[in-house]
Amino acid sequence: MRLILLGPPGAGKGTQGHRLHEAYGIPEISTGDILRAAVRHETPLGLEAKSFMDRGALVPDEVIIGIARERLGEEDTEAGFILDGFPRTVAQAEALDHMLLESQRPLNHVISVEVPENELLRRLARRREIEGRDDDTDEAIRHRLEVYERQTAPLIDYYRKTGLLRPVSGVGTVDDIAQRIKTVL
């Protein structure tokens, strides 16, 4: 099974991705994790990404796509994968489609975890309290939600047109949400 988890910050993609990994035994691939690993291992693309990150600049699509291509080429992804945080833009989605077409491993599903904004704000504020995350200031949270709306939300229309989109309510208990996802899969 090859799938993407879409949803705004605080929607629970990481939690649900981990559950899907446990249920199906396929790797959960987070863009942040593979980016940090590429930097840590000083791969050519990781060093290129680090040069942008060190300047506080966004890592360009070409670099993110290259790092994703490398990770999806690893042996553990042959039986499938769960993508969280990639693609983030339509350009990245088109590149992903192309690379999966080349390897004859098309996507099966795109799960859109849908959560109202007031619930997202509540969850992210709670996460800040529990985890003490410095990056979860009110201003940073609102900025990340705006960036999601501007850059990533268009993927919902993109994948709806392909017939792969599976919207799932992300409100309720972790178990309830996991069950909804398993039902659509």
CA torsion angle 55 28 68 53 (round to 10): 0
Give the model confidence (pLDDT) of 150-162 as tens digits: 988 899 999 999 9
pLDDT at 133: 65
Nearest alpha carbon to residue 180 among 167, 162, 163, 164: 167
Q: What are the two backbone dihedrals, phi and then psi, of residue 150, each rounded to the nearest 5 degrees?
A: -75, -45
Nearest alpha carbon to residue 58 among 144, 161, 145, 181: 144
Kindly tell me if the per-residue pLDDT of 115 is higher than 90: yes
**This prediction's pTM:** 0.89
Residue 141 domain-assigned (yes or no): yes
Question: How many domains does the structure of the chain reveal?
Answer: 1
pLDDT at 137: 79
DSSP character at residue 172: S
CATH of the domain at 33: 3.40.50.300
Q: How confident is the model at residue 95 (pLDDT cuts 50, 70, 90)?
A: very high
* Residues marked as catalytic: 13, 88, 127, 133, 144
pLDDT at 136: 67
Q: Indicate if the alpha-carbon torsion angle 59, 62, 64, 70 is positive or negative.
A: negative
Give the model confidence (pLDDT) of 11-61 as tens digits: 999 999 999 999 999 999 998 889 889 999 999 999 999 998 888 777 899
- What are the helix (H) ranges across 103-167? 117-131, 138-147, 154-162
Give the model confidence (pLDDT) of 122-137 as tens digits: 998 888 888 876 666 7
Kindly tell me if the per-residue pLDDT of 71 is higher than 80: yes
Residue 72 domain-assigned (yes or no): yes
Residue 17 domain-assigned (yes or no): yes
Residue 93 domain-assigned (yes or no): yes
CA R_g for the chain = 16
Mean pLDDT of the chain: 92
81-84, strands of its sheet edge to edge: 28-30, 81-84, 2-6, 109-114, 165-169
Residue 46 domain-assigned (yes or no): yes
Kindly tell me if the per-residue pLDDT of 174 is higher than 80: yes
Label the pairing between strands 81-84 and 2-6. parallel
Could you please report the per-residue DSSP string of 49-96?
HHHHHHTTPPPPHHHHHHHHHHHHTSGGGTT-EEEES---SHHHHHHH
Label the pairing between strands 81-84 and 28-30. parallel
Q: Which domain holds residue 27?
A: 2-180
**What residue has token string 């945080």?**
85
Residue 169 domain-assigned (yes or no): yes
Residue 185 domain-assigned (yes or no): no
